[in-house]
Structure formats: C-alpha cells, structure tokens
Amino acid sequence: MKRYLLALIATSMLLPAAATATVKLGFGFDQGFGVTGQFNDVNGFIGNDGVAADYIFKRGSFGGDAPFTWYVGGGAFLGWDDGLGIRLPLGLRLPFNSQWDSYLQIHPELDFDHGSRSDIKFGIDAAIGVRYSF
C-alpha cells in the first residue's frame, strides 16, 4: 500500500509540470519533408531524409514593433541513408495566431558520416515550418 501511495504522490508532482508544458506539432522542411514538433525548449523533426533534435538555449526579441523573435540552440541530426552530425540552429519565429507560429532557421553543421568518406564535412542547411500549439 505504501508503494502505491508513494507512486501516486510522485505522479501527482509531475502533473503541474506537464500542465504548463508547451507542446507544438506541425509540418515543414528540414531533413526532407516531415513532421516537426516542440516540447518546451526541444525542437524535433522526423522527415523522409532523416531525424533531427535541437535544444533551444537562448531566445530573444528585436524590440519595437518587430513581430519576429529569434532563437539559438544546439542539436544533432541523423540521415536515413548517411549523415550524422551536430548543428547550431539560428532561427526566427513568427507567431501569426494565438496558437499558430512559423519558423525559419539556418543551421551550420558538422557532418561526421556522409557516405563512403570518413572525413568531417562542414555545411550550412536550412529549415522552415508551421506549428500548432496545444
């Protein structure tokens, strides 16, 4: 009985954090065309060319009447056929409704596995998408 009570208390402590979590889902282009999502400060993407995840560690606004906000993060990507690396997303977010937003980002990246060659390749890629906030 004590285990069940302890489990119930531990679970109830997680509910306020889940209730205030920001969850967004949408579609876009990043690793090909696919599904994009955001859970608090973590952006994720699953597409027809691969998967990517980024942690957003800094956000800001341009001030004045600018409708855009900016963000900077760090993340990783994995291609379905080849490609494995890290990236630094630099993005703009435009909320255009109380529950909808769009984003555009560029991300310099280091690709550690790109086909038959085993050297490290530097590149710059981009992403664009639309998300709905629940």
Q: Give the pLDDT mean for 87-100.
A: 94
State percent of the chain over pLDDT 70. 81
> CB pairs under 8 A, 24+ apart, for 37-40?
37/131, 38/131
Which of 77, 109, 64 is CA-nearest to residue 90?
109
Residue 86 covered by a domain: yes
Residue 13 covered by a domain: no
Overall pTM surpassing 0.85 (yes/no): no
> Do the Cβ atoms of 113 and 82 come closer than 8 Å?
yes
Higher per-residue pLDDT: 87 or 117: 87
Residue 32 tokens, joined: 């090909």
pLDDT of residue 123: 92
* Domain membership of residue 116 as a residue range: 22-133
Evaluate the CA torsion angle 81, 42, 107, 74 in order and state its sign.
Answer: negative
Residue 123 covered by a domain: yes
| pLDDT per position as a tens digit, 21-63 | 789 999 999 989 999 999 999 999 999 999 999 999 999 998 8
Residue with tokens 């980024």: 54
